[in-house]
Structures are given as structure tokens and as C-alpha cells.
């Protein structure tokens, strides 16, 4: 996608961006949690598309398999375990909703302002047009430069696994 015409790139970008944002909003606002989960999946898939548009193929696959196929499936399992009928009848937004929205918009607004004002410094950077094979690059970096974090990450996953089992275990069982 690096060498595609710029209009196509914009088109894909706006499409996936819009999809992501739309799904995100719908996720946050949904009454039914399962719907929210589906919308999150949608948002994540849209993000994967963005990755693809950015010629990050390996990450695109990882996103789809791991994030959507793993994490979101886990979410859906848990949603099924928890009784949500009662929850869905309750008020969905808590008491601080207006203040929180206001503040977050202020936050976002500020960050946006900062980007807008100073974002021009990035224009001087020329992105290279052709890149080496993404997966090779990622593999090389991952197993050479970032070997230690990789191992630590695996230990962390082990710990998380044990933790999750421990947390969800029934007492005495």
C-alpha cells in the first residue's frame, strides 16, 4: 500500500477510521453488553485495517488473531458467564457522566490543539516509499534487539494465566 496512489490511501484511511470511531461510539453507548462486545470487535477489525494501510502486515494478522480472536472471545465467554439481564435493565451511565464527558472533551480538545499547533514539525520527515518485508523486519527486531522483553513478556503471560485461574477459581473447590 506504500506505493498506491494517494487518493486510494486517503480513501482507505477515512473508511477504516470512520468505521473504527463509529464502532467505538456504539460500543460505549450500547445497552446490551454483547452488542458492545461485537462493536468492539468491529472497531478492532477496523484498526487492523488501518495497520494494513500502514503496511504493517504482521501486526494486522496479530491484531486479528490475538486481539479479536483471543481477547474478544474471552470477553464474550465471560459475558456469557455473568448474569447480564439485571444489568441491562439498570441505568447504564453513572453519576459523573456529564463531568466526565466534559473533562474528556477538554482533554481531547487540548491534545488536538497541541497537535494542530505543533504538528507541522512532522512534515519535514520524509517517509520512505519502499520498505523491506515487514514480517522479516519484525522478526529480526523481536528476536535480536528485543529478545529480553520478549522473554519477559512470555513470563508475564504465564503469570497472567496462573493469576486468571486463581482469580476465577471457586473457594474450596
Partner 1 sequence: MVNSLPTAQGLLPFFLAYIWLIPMFPLAGAFLMLLFGRVVRKAVVSAVCVGSVAISFFFACGAFLQLIARPADERVAQVILFEWVPAGVYHLQSGALGRFVADWGFLLDPLSAVMILVVTGVGLLIHIYSTGYMAHEGGYYRFFGYLNLFMFSMLMLVLANNLLLLFVGWEGVGTCSYLLIGFYFHRKSASDAGKKAFIVNRIGDAGFLLGIFLTSAVLGTIRFTEILPALTVSNLPVGAPVLTAIALLFFVGATGKSAQIPLYVWLPDAMEGPTPVSALIHAATMVTAGVYMVTRTNAIFQHAPFAMEVVAGVGAATALFAATIGVLQNDIKKVLAYSTVSQLGYMFLACGVGAFSAGIFHLMTHAFFKGLLFLGAGSVIHAMSGEQDMRKMGGLAKKIPITYWTMLIATLAIAGIFPFAGFLSKDLILGKVYEHGLLLWLVGYFTAGMTAFYMFRLIVLTFHGQSRVEHDVEHHIHESPKSMTIPLIILAGLSIFGGWVGWPEILRGSNHFVHFLAPMITSVQEARVPASEAAQAHLGEVELMLLSEGLVFLGILFAWFLYLKRVDLPEKIKAHTGGLYKLVYNKYYVDEIYDAMFVNRTKDLATSLGSFDNAVINGMGVDGAGWLTRYISTLSMWWDTWIVDGSVRLASRLIWLVSQVARMFQTGLVQSYMLVIVIGVVGFLSYYFWVLRHLHS
Partner 2 sequence: MIPVTHYIFLSLALLTIGVIGVLTRRNVIVILMSIELILNAVNINLVAFSRMFGQVHGQVFAIFIITDAAAEAAVGLGIIIALFRNRETVLADEMDILKW
Residue 8 or residue 107: which is nearer to partner 1 going by CB? Answer: 107
Closest approach of Cβ 27 to partner 2, in Å?
6
Helices 73-81, 33-53: inter-axial angle, 10-degree rounding = 180
- Look at residue 4 and give the partner it binds from partner 1, partner 2, none, a contact being a CB closer than 5 to 8 Å depending on partner kind: none
Q: Do 75 and 41 meet the contact criterion of CB atoms below 8 Å apart?
A: no
Residue ranges in 1-20 that form contacts with partner 2 under rule CB under 8 A: 2, 6, 9-10, 13, 17, 20
Separation CA 139–CA 77 (nearest Å):
32
Separation CA 144–CA 2 (nearest Å):
26
Residue 15 neighbours by CB under 8 Å, 6+ apart: 49
Q: What angle do CA 166, 170, 171 make, to 5 degrees?
A: 95
Q: What angle do CA 99, 102, 103 make, to 5 degrees?
A: 85
Closest approach of Cβ 97 to partner 2, in Å?
5
Work out whether 104 is an interface residue with partner 2 (CB under 8 A).
Answer: yes
Closest-CA residue to 169 (of 161, 46, 156, 63): 161
Residue ranges in 68-127 that form contacts with partner 1 under rule CB under 8 A: 94, 96, 99-100, 103-104, 106-107, 110-111, 113-114
Closest approach of Cβ 123 to partner 1, in Å?
18
Residue ranges in 134-163 that form contacts with partner 2 under rule CB under 8 A: 134, 137-138, 140-142, 145-146, 149, 153, 156-157, 159-161, 163
Closest approach of Cβ 149 to partner 2, in Å?
6
With contacts defined by CB under 8 A, how many residues of the chain interact with partner 2?
91
Number of C-beta neighbours around residue 49 at 10 A: 20
Separation CA 71–CA 43 (nearest Å):
13
- Look at residue 7 and give the partner it binds from partner 2, partner 1, none, a contact being a CB closer than 5 to 8 Å depending on partner kind: none
- Look at residue 106 and give the partner it binds from partner 1, partner 2, none, a contact being a CB closer than 5 to 8 Å depending on partner kind: partner 1
Amino acid at each position: 500500500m506504500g506505493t498506491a496512489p494517494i487518493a486510494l490511501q486517503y480513501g482507505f484511511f477515512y473508511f477504516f477510521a470512520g468505521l473504527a470511531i463509529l464502532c467505538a461510539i456504539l460500543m460505549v453507548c450500547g445497552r446490551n453488553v454483547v452488542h458492545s462486545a461485537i462493536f468492539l470487535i468491529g472497531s478492532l477489525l477496523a484498526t487492523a485495517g488501518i495497520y494494513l494501510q500502514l503496511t504493517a502486515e504482521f501486526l494486522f494478522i496479530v491484531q486479528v488473531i490475538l486481539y479479536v480472536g483471543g481477547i474478544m472471545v474471552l470477553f464474550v465467554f465471560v459475558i456469557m458467564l455473568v448474569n447480564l439481564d439485571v444489568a441491562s435493565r439498570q441505568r447504564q451511565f453513572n453519576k459523573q457522566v456529564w463531568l466526565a464527558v466534559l473533562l474528556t472533551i477538554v482533554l481531547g480538545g487540548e491534545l488536538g490543539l497541541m497537535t494542530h499547533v505543533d504538528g507541522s514539525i512532522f512534515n519535514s520527515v520524509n517517509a520512505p516509499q519502499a520498505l523491506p518485508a515487514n514480517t522479516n523486519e519484525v522478526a529480526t527486531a523481536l528476536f535480536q534487539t528485543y529478545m529480553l522483553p520478549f522473554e519477559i513478556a512470555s513470563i508475564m503471560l504465564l503469570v497472567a494465566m496462573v493469576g486468571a485461574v486463581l482469580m476465577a477459581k471457586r473457594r474450596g473447590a
